[in-house]
Amino acid sequence: MSYLGEGYVLPDPNVDDAPFWANCAARRLTFQRCSGCGRVTHPPIGACPGCQSFERTWIDAPSDARVFSFTWVRTPAHDSVAQSLPYNVVVVEFPELPGVRLISNVVNVAPGDLAIGDALTLVWEAVGRDAISLPRFCKLSG
C-alpha cells in the first residue's frame, strides 16, 4: 500500500532527470553534482547554474533530513488522491546540503503530528504497474 491511492501520476523521465529516476529504481536518492565546479543542484537540469557545465555526477542524499515546510492537502486536484485525503506534502531539506530541497511525503503521521524542523528518515515505496520507486519519508520519533 503506497501513501497516495491508486491511479498515480507517475514521473515521466526526460533526458535531464532520467538518471535521478534510474537511481531511485536502485533505491538511491541522489542529487546532480557538477563535475566542473562541484555545485549540487535540484531538480536536475541540463546545465550547472554555477558554471554551465553539462558534466555531472550523482551524489547520495545525506541521511539527515528535516521538514522545511509542509501542507495538508484537503481538496483533491486529481482523481488518484480522492481517497487519500487529507494527505501531506512536505518540502524536505538536508542541513548538510544547503539549497537543496525535495518535495515528498511523510507517510507515518496524521494531521497535527507534523511540524517544521521534524527529523525524517528516507523510505522507498514502489508504485504503479512498473513498480517505480518513489522516495518518501518517515518522521523519526523523539
Partner 1 sequence: MRTGRRACVVGIGETEYRRWGGIQDRSEFQLACQAIGAAARDAGLPIASLDGFATYAELRIDAATLQLALGLPRLRYSSSVWGGRGGGSCGALAHAAMAVEAGHADHVVVFRSLAQGQSRRYGRFDPARPQGNMAAPFGLFTAPQMIALVLQRYAHDYELDPADMAEVALACRDNASRNPRALMRDRPLTLEQCLTARLIADPLRLYDCCLETDGACAVIVTTAERARDLAHRPVEILAATEYGEGGWGVGPMGSHNMPADRYTTGGQRDLGTELFARAGVKPADIDTAQLYDHFTGMVLIELEDFGFCARGEGAAFARGGRLRWPNGGLPINTAGGSLSEAYVHGLNHVTEAVRQLRGTSTSQVPDAKLCLVTGGSGISPSSAALLAAA
Return d(Cα 134, Cα 14) in angstroms, integer: 16
- Residues 91-120, interacting with partner 1 (CB under 8 A): 91, 98-105, 111, 116
Return d(Cα 81, Cα 21) in angstroms, integer: 22
Q: x/- string (CB under 8 A) for partner 1, residues 30-59? A: -----------xxx-x---x----------
Q: Interface with partner 1 includes 133 (CB under 8 A)? A: no
Phi and psi of 82, rounded to 5°?
Answer: -60, -30
Size of the residue set binding partner 1 (CB under 8 A): 45
Return d(Cα 117, Cα 83) in angstroms, integer: 28
Chain residues binding partner 1 by CB under 8 A are 4, 8-14, 17, 21, 41-43, 45, 49, 68-75, 77-78, 81, 84, 86-87, 89, 91, 98-105, 111, 116, 127, 132, 134, 136
